[in-house]
Amino acid sequence: MKVYLDNGATTKVDPEVVNAMKLYFLEKYGNASSLHSYGQQAKKALNNSRKVIAKIINADPEEIIFTSGGTESDNIALRGLADANKKKGNHIITSKIEHHAIIRTCQDLEKQGFKVTYLDVSEKGFVDPKDVEAAITKNTILVSIMHANNEIGTIQPISEIAAICREKGVYFHTDAVQSFTKVKIDVKKMNIDLASFSSHKIHGPKGVGAIYIKKGTKVNSLVTGGAHEFGKRAGTENVAGIVGFAKAASILNKDHLEKMTTLRDELINELLKIPHVQLNGSKQKRLCNNANLRFNLIEGEAMLIHLDMNGIAVSTGSACSSHELKVSHVLKAIGLSHDVAHGSIRFTLSKYTTKKEIDYTIDKVKEVVLKLRKISPLKPGYSAKDFPDHNH
C-alpha cells in the first residue's frame, strides 16, 4: 500500500483544479494586461479568482495580491513593509518557531540595520500575547506571528495578538500558509493587516500564492516593472495557476475538515499507546491534519526510511544540511533536547487520506518502532522490558 502523509510539505493537485487550469493553458491563454479579447478573458479569470480568495477571508478583492507562493508573500510582508516604514521605526517582532521564510528574512533585515525580537514559545508552541505586548516599543513597526505552525500544528491566538498590535498602532502580519481553508480566517474581525497564503498546500498547483494587504497599509514592491497587481507585484500574472489556486480554495469544505480531524485523532491516540511516545504541540488547538509525535530512543531518519520502505511517506523533525544533522528550530524552541527532537515524526493528512491508510500506518509504525528499539543502544533508565513484544 502507498500512503502519502506529508501533506504539510505539498499536496496532490485536485483533478478538478487541473481541469479548471487546462482552459487557460490551451484556449484562454492571453496576457491579463492585454486589451484584446484574449487578454480580457484572462483578466476576467484573474478578477474572479481574486474575488474567491477575498471572500474566504472576508477581504476586499483589491486587497489580494497574487504571488509565486508563501515565501514570496512573507518576503513582501516583511521587506516591503520594513522598507516603506523605516522612517517610522526599525523594530520587528516575531517568534522562534516561524517558517524559515520569516526567520531568514528577519535575519537578513537585521544585517540592514533593523532590530528583531524573537519571542520564546511555551512547551506546546504557543506565543503569549502578553510577551508580544511587552516587546512592543515606540520603534516597532511590525509583528509577524504565524497562524498555525507547519511542523507541530499549534494554532496561535492571533486575534488577541493582532488586537494588541492594532491598539498600539503596529502592523500585524500572519503566515497563514498552513491554516488557510483549514482554520477560519476573517481579516476584518481578527484585525489582520497582512497575511500570506499558498496554493500547493491545499491541492492547488505549486508556484502560486497570495498576500492580503489591508487598504492603507504601506508596503513597497520588491519587484519593479509593470503596474501588475495594483503596483504591489510586477510581472505577468500566472493566470492558469491563479485559477487553479482559487478552485482549490473553493473546494475544501467542512466535511473534509471533519474527516481529517477524526483520522488525525485516531492516529494520535493509537500511536500514544506505544510506550515512550509523546505528542509535540497542543492536542486541542492544532491543525486538523497535523500529528507530530516523538518516538524516544529512535532516530527519526531511520524511522522515516523504514516507513518509506513500507510505502508510507512522512517527514522528520530534523533535516540533513551538508554533513551536519540539524534539529528543527521549532522543536528546539519548545524545549526538546537534540536526542528527543531527532526522534520526532510529522504525519500530515489530506482530504484524500482514508481510514484504511491510517490503520495501515498505525500497524506499520508499531512494527517499525519495535524493530528499531530492539537494535537501539538502550539509554540509562530504560531496559529491554520497556519494549515488550505485545506492543507489536
Contact indicator for 5, 361 with CB cutoff of 8 Å: yes
Mention every residue, 6+ apart, whose C-beta is less than 8 A from residue 309.
Answer: none
* Alpha carbon distances (Å) from 306 to 8, 127, 268, 275, 310: 20, 35, 19, 19, 7
Q: Which of 106, 165, 288, 320 is catalytic?
A: 320
Alpha helix positions (H), the chain: 15-26, 37-57, 70-75, 81-84, 100-111, 129-135, 158-168, 239-251, 254-271, 300-309, 329-333, 338-341, 355-375
Contact indicator for 119, 96 with CB cutoff of 8 Å: yes
Pairing assessment for the beta strands 140-144 and 91-95 based on DSSP bridges = parallel
Residue in the structure block whose three cell numbers are 502523509: 5
Q: Is 320 a catalytic residue?
A: yes
The 64-67 sheet, strands edge to edge: 64-67, 209-213, 194-198, 171-175, 140-144, 91-95, 115-119
Find, among 330, 280, 333, 281, the residue nearest to 120 by Cα. 333
Q: Catalytic positions, please? A: 320
